[in-house]
């Protein structure tokens, strides 16, 4: 760890990154959201859109790993008996398959099934935190805050999917808990381009009411990776 602070060009104003104290948080880059036959596809989405976030997320992951900075992966997933999946979440719309139903990658959004795994390019390594979360926000009903506090993490740099659902929800939770959060624009995606664009604006509006956004090039450049 080094104490030198780094300035990242960002919106709505530069983000001061404290090396070693800023965890990279990669939200839900799971086969269930990104590959055909998973949960995202069962809701009628064009899942191919999310693939654009894989390579930028991989570049961030490589940069964090090289510096031995903290990395946290999340997986949206439920217990096999669905005891942590309320009807308010499962009984939405009339999709051909719901959470817990069998599909080509196993039971949708169920922990331990192939679909709930993170895509191979971003597979977690030993020493990296992996949080299984039943909700949209990664702080809800998980040990995330305790883990971060025990490690002295004070800042969060976000990547992952989907921008307006689990990424934004977790950034809002993080803001309420006192973390300065930055979202890397190319490393996040949505099934809906307009929702991604709107979310980036919402995050930085009103002086950064949720946090900051920055381009991948600006983040990598600021940490000396370009």
Instruction: Return the number of the residue (18 or 111) whose C-beta is nearest ligand C5J.
Output: 111
Residues 13, 147 contacting (CB under 8 angstroms): no
Q: How many angstroms separate the first and last alpha carbons of the chain?
A: 20
Instruction: Return the number of the residue (28 or 113) whose C-beta is nearest ligand C5J.
Output: 28
Q: How far is the CB of 205 from ligand C5J (least distance, A)?
A: 21
Buried b (16+ CB within 10 A) or exposed e, 182-210: bbbbbbbbbbbeeebeebbeebbeeebeb
Nearest-5° angle of CA 74, CA 154, CA 210? 70
Instruction: Return the number of the residue (101 or 225) whose C-beta is nearest ligand C5J.
Output: 101
In whole angstroms, what is the distance from residue 119 CA to residue 107 CA?
17
- 166 tagged catalytic: yes
Residues 68, 22 contacting (CB under 8 angstroms): no
Residue tagged active-site, from 132, 133, 136, 180: 133
Instruction: Return the number of the residue (93 or 207) whose C-beta is nearest ligand C5J.
Output: 93
SS3 209: coil
Residue tagged active-site, from 132, 166, 180, 218: 166
Q: How far is the CB of 160 from ligand C5J (least distance, A)?
A: 7
The burial of 127, by beta-carbon neighbours within 10 Å (0-12 exposed, 13-18 middle, 19 or more buried), is given as: exposed
Buried b (16+ CB within 10 A) or exposed e, 67-92: eebbbbbbbbbbeeebeebeeebeee
Q: How far is the CB of 93 from ligand C5J (least distance, A)?
A: 12
Instruction: Return the number of the residue (33 or 64) whose C-beta is nearest ligand C5J.
Output: 33
Q: How far is the CB of 192 from ligand C5J (least distance, A)?
A: 10
Q: How far is the CB of 208 from ligand C5J (least distance, A)?
A: 22
Token pair listed for 111: 């922990």
In whole angstroms, what is the distance from residue 157 CA to residue 178 CA?
14
- 133 tagged catalytic: yes
Contacts with ligand C5J by CB under 6 A lie at 28, 33, 76, 161-162, 165-166
Catalytic residue positions? Answer: 28, 133, 166
């Amino acid at each position: 760890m080094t104490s030198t602070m780094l300035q990242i060009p960002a919106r709505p104003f530069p983000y001061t990154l404290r090396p070693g104290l800023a965890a990279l948080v990669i939200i839900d880059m799971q086969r269930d959201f990104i590959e055909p036959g998973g949960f995202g596809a069962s809701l009628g989405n064009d899942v191919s859109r999310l693939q654009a976030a894989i390579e930028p997320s991989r570049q961030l992951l490589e940069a964090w790993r090289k510096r031995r900075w903290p990395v946290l992966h999340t997986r949206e997933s439920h217990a096999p008996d669905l005891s942590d999946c309320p009807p308010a979440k499962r009984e939405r719309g009339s999709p051909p398959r719901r959470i817990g139903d069998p599909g080509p990658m196993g039971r949708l959004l169920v922990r331990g099934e192939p679909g709930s795994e993170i895509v191979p390019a971003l597979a977690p390594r030993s020493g990296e935190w992996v949080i299984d979360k039943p909700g949209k926000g990664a702080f809800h009903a998980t040990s995330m805050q305790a883990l971060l506090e025990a490690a002295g993490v004070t800042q969060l740099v976000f990547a992952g999917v989907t921008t307006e659902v689990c990424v934004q929800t977790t950034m809002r939770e993080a803001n309420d808990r006192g973390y300065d959060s930055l979202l890397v624009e190319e490393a996040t995606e949505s099934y809906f381009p307009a929702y991604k664009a709107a979310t980036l604006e919402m995050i930085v509006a009103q002086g950064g009411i949720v946090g900051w956004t920055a381009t991948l090039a600006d983040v990598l450049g600021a940490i000396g990776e370009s």
